[in-house]
Every structure is written in structure tokens, then in C-alpha cells.
Amino acid sequence: MEQCVSVTVPAGSKIQITCTSINVSTGTYVTILDLAGTSVVANPPIINTAYTTADNTMIIKSLASSANADQLCCNWITV
């Protein structure tokens, strides 16, 4: 089942995200989107790479599963 996390910051700001750990099983995925989910920022994200959204929204979509010991650890800040 696909899981989503959505982050919205004040208008005029952007979001910068960096993932320190990504471990997903074969057949699963992690995608980071911006522009209300209409533009791909990273698919898949690369560890320790900073990505900045074009607007004040970010959506993380994942088919990762805790049953598979999948892991996604990311930090984001407002820029």
C-alpha cells in the first residue's frame, strides 16, 4: 500500500530535504514531489543529497513497508 507524507510551509518559503538512510526492498519505491505533487524532485532520492522544492509543498510517496524492514530517514528544513 502506498504511503504519503505531505509537508507545507508558509507561502514564499521552500523545503530542503536530505535523506541520511534509504533502504527499500526490490519492487518498492520512494519519490519526492513538489508543486502540489505535480513535479518530481527525486525518484529515488540519493543518500546525503540535498533537494530543494520549487514551492512551499513537498510530498513523499513510498511503497516501502515496515514488514520488509524498509527504512527512510530524512530531515527537512524551511529555506
Question: What pLDDT shows up at residue 66?
Answer: 61
Domain that holds residue 7: 3-78
Question: What pLDDT shows up at residue 16?
Answer: 97
Q: Which residue has the higher pLDDT, 67 or 2?
A: 2
Q: Are 75 and 50 in contact (CB under 8 A)?
A: no
C-alpha 32/C-alpha 30 separation (Å) is 7
C-alpha 10/C-alpha 27 separation (Å) is 35
Q: Give the global pTM.
A: 0.85
pLDDT tens digits, 2-56: 788 999 999 999 999 999 998 877 777 889 999 988 899 999 899 999 999 999 9
C-alpha cell at 16: 530542503
Q: What total number of domains does the chain contain?
A: 1
The domain that holds 22 is classified in CATH as 2.60.120.290
